[in-house]
Amino acid sequence: MSELFLIAVSAILVNNFVLVQFLGLCPFMGVSKKVETAIGLSLATTFVLTLAAICSYLLQQYVLKPLDIEFLRTISFIVVIAVVVQFTEMVVNKTSPLLYRVLGIFLPLITTNCIVLGVAILNANRTEYGFVASSINGFAAGIGFSLVLVLFAAMRERIAIADVPKPFQGAAIGLITAGLMSLAFMGFAGLVKL
Amino acid sequence: MTLVLIAVAALTILSIIFGALLGFAAVRFRVEGNPIVEQINAILPQTQCGQCGYPGCRPYAEAIAAGDKINKCPPGGEATIQALADLLDIEPEPLDAVEGEKIPVVAYIREEECIGCTKCIQACPVDAILGSSRQMHTVISSECTGCDLCVEPCPVDCIEMRPIETDLRSWKWQQPTRQYQIIASDKEALE
């Protein structure tokens, strides 16, 4: 149990996928202008991450390993992720057309979000991770992504009305803020050894 | 060689399974129509006046859903733009400049010239014209949205658009002209 907790803490804070491992920076910069949109994308990405981690674990354990074709890992993981994202897109379009419209292109782009493939491959590399550990890792990666995305969006909403010097306006101040957040997350380094 | 065959077969089977899953989901989660168009259409005033450049409110709703501007609806005014901006989560914009400059007008029928052809009644989107065949028509000015649509069909050109006269009901206090400074933002507005 404590093992699972440590995995979660590691993925959320210590090895945060966005600010420490620098995966998934595109939606981090692109969908962080408004908190509402950021929350919507966070939910969708967390859902996709959890599902993709579970599916890719099953694929790895019950298809690729027994058939001894682990060299097909990347391509089959990408297929799995694409299917999960497509599925999520259909469900979101059916249940919340407004969220579907707000997320726009970033919803199908979750496919190419490197966090999703990153989690799947990192899970597959860690042979000691079982089914539960893999899915917890995927879910926690999503929570970590949501945490920093919502925090960052809240900051950018403040920055938008702040008096920023002209050379730093727009994306520049956003990137500087992201860098400072990343520095702050370095403070968690060494909290969990995994 | 067998390894290659196994790999190809495994990927093919996987793809077929996933394809079937997505096909099932496409049927199961099919969306009837475009729900966002319905919501936009519900906000638009339904005068069907065509001042936005589209033949009616529903085509304009479809155009907005496809990415057109939300500030092309003079009958709806600021309230409609604000409601659309809230719905679509985008910034509200001032009413389209060309349309926004217009002063509010109502249609007026010069009754002695009217021949009672009912063509303007059929054109009116808000049923603001009263009359019947071979009888004189007149405009219910409180219902008229000033959309111009009745002017074109009239065979004797007896309809004109008149600015709304100021009377006891429509008179408003004049906006004070700000020549003095109260707070810093007043100063910016003057400059």
CB spacing of A94 vs B6 below 8 angstroms: no
pLDDT-derived band of residue B151, with 50, 70 and 90 as boundaries? confident
Spans in chain A with pLDDT lower than 50:
none
Domain ranges of chain B: 35-99, 103-166
In this complex, the residue of B3, B22, B36 whose CB is nearest that of residue A83 is: B22
Check CB contact of B90 with chain A, cutoff 8 Å.
Answer: no
Contact criterion met (CB < 8 Å) for A93 and B29: yes
Number of CB pairs, chain A paired with chain B, less than 8 A apart? 59
What is the reported pLDDT for B59? 86
Residues of B within 8 A of A91 (CB-CB) are: 25, 29
CB atoms < 10 A from the CB of B166, how many?
Answer: 9
**Domain B103-166 in the same topology as domain B35-99:** no
Q: Which of A34, A71, A87 sits opposite B25 (nearest CB)?
A: A87
CA max distance for chain B: 97
Q: How far apart are CA B139 and CA B130, in angstroms?
A: 6
Cα of B191 to nearest chain A Cα, Å? 20
Q: Decide if B95 contacts B112 (C-beta within 8 A).
A: no
Predicted confidence at residue B13, as pLDDT, reads 92
B105-109 and B159-163 beta bridge pairing: antiparallel
Q: Closest-CA residue in chain A for B22? A: A87
pLDDT at B5 over 60: yes
B89: which 2 tokens?
């989560």
Interface of B with A in 40-79 (CB under 8 A): 65
Question: CA nearest B65 in A: which residue?
Answer: A101
Residue B183 has pLDDT above 80, yes or no: no
Instruction: Reduce the DSSP state of residue B128 to 3 states and report it.
Output: coil
- Whether residue B11 lies within 8 A of chain A, CB to CB, comes out as yes
Segments in A60-96 forming alpha helices (H): 65-67, 73-95
Whether the predicted pLDDT of B189 surpasses 60: no
Reported as a pLDDT band with limits 50, 70 and 90, residue B179 is low
DSSP letter, residue B109:
E
**Residues B77-112: tens digit of each pLDDT:** 788 888 888 888 777 777 765 544 457 788 889 888
Find, among A122, A134, A44, the residue nearest to A85 by Cα. A44
What span, in angstroms and rounded, lies between the C-alpha atoms of A37 and B90? 11
Percent over 90 (pLDDT), chain B: 6
Determine the Cα–Cα distance for residues A120 and A134; give it in Å rounded to an integer: 8
- Report domain B35-99's class: mainly alpha
Q: What are the extents of the domains in chain A?
A: 2-186
Architecture of domain B103-166: 2-Layer Sandwich (3.30)
Q: How many residues does chain B have?
A: 191
> Per-residue pLDDT for B131 more than 70?
yes
ipTM of predicted complex: 0.72
DSSP B17-78: HHHHHHHHHHHHTPPPS-HHHHHHHHHS------TTSSSSHHHHHHHHHTT--S---TTTHH
Question: Which has the higher per-residue pLDDT, B147 or B109?
Answer: B109
DSSP string, A86-148: HHHHHHHHHH-HHHHHHHGGGTGGGGG-HHHHHHHHHHHH-TT--HHHHHHHHHHHHHHHHHH
Alpha carbon distance B181, B167 (integer Å): 33
Residue B47 one-letter amino acid: T
pLDDT value, residue A133? 92
CA-wise closest residue to A91 among B37, B32, B30: B30
Of the candidates A37, A79, A101, the beta carbon closest to that of B36 is on A101
Radius of gyration of chain B (CA): 27
Interface of A with B in 28-47 (CB under 8 A): 34, 36-37
Instruction: Please tell me the distance in Å from A125's CA to the nearest CA on chain B.
Output: 20
Q: How close is the nearest chain A Cα to the Cα of B21, in Å?
A: 8
**Calpha distance B132→B130 (Å, rounded):** 7
Does A76 contact B35 at a Cβ distance shorter than 8 Å? Answer: no
pLDDT reported for residue A93: 81
For residue B121, pLDDT over 70 is answered with yes
